[in-house]
A and B are shown apart, each in its own frame.
Chain A
Amino acid sequence: QQQVKQSPQSLIVQKGGISIINCAYENTAFDYFPWYQQFPGKGPALLIAIRPDVSEKKEGRFTISFNKSAKQFSLHIMDSQPGDSATYFCAASMSGSQGNLIFGKGTKLSVKP
């Protein structure tokens, strides 16, 4: 049972464009939703995270939008750059179990110059 579904699997965006990655979850007990960026040969790096009490969180060019009723959240990368080309993972965890992240399958982003 896949508890966190991520789409698309791959994404090609032109430099300067907006990259949008979507995730949907099933377990309403989830209350922490981070996004990670992973480059080849490296471990995932925490980008930004949100909790259900807010609908949007922005850090630099990265924004999380959260829709609690639809059980969906998304990552927007504004002004996408070739250096953003990486695999992005959404994840979710429950209160008291934040060390147990349930990950989506990942989105491979390619930003073309």
Chain B
Amino acid sequence: KAGVTQTPRYLIKTRGQQVTLSCSPISGHRSVSWYQQTPGQGLQFLFEYFSETQRNKGNFPGRFSGRQFSNSRSEMNVSTLELGDSALYLCASSLVGGGQIFGPGTRLTVL
């Protein structure tokens, strides 16, 4: 069974730009969550989607948004990038009530 895939794996952007990251969950997993990982703040929850609906949202500004498609694939978007948005963005998928399985992440660098 293929794992969670995230594209792209690496991304370099400049301040003010916007970025879209993609996540394909494990087949059959309908829940997808996104996390931001930085050395200073650690792993922080961004949002969770289930059946195309956002179920939970973390404490991040409105510049961070996401969506989920009918095939459970998910995207997250960050607009008006700031230097502090440089991080590893992780996607995780799970079955209902199951443990979250993480993808390899997308390393975003904002210059």
Contact = CB atoms under 8 A, between A and B. Distances in A.
Interface of A: 34, 36, 41-46, 49, 89, 91, 97-106
Given A44-B90, A45-B102, 14 more contacts: A34-B99, A43-B4, A43-B104, A44-B102, A46-B102, A99-B48, A99-B55, A100-B33, A100-B48, A100-B56, A101-B33, A101-B43, A103-B35, A103-B42
Contacts of B45: 100-102
A43 B94 contact: no
A58 B42 CA distance: 27
Given A89-B43, A103-B42, A105-B42, A97 B102 contact: no
A97 B56 contact: yes
B84 interface: no
A103 B43 contact: yes
A42 B33 contact: no
A100 B58 contact: yes
Contacts, number: 62
B66 interface: no
Interface string B74-111: 00000000000000001010100111111111000000
16 contacts: A34-B100, A41-B104, A43-B92, A43-B102, A46-B102, A89-B42, A91-B43, A97-B56, A99-B31, A99-B50, A99-B55, A99-B56, A100-B45, A100-B48, A105-B42, A106-B43
Interface string B6-24: 0000000000000000000
Contact of B100 (A42, A99, A104, A106): A99
Contacts of B100: 34, 46, 98-99, 101
A69 to B, nearest CB: 25
Contact of A99 (B94, B103, B104): B94
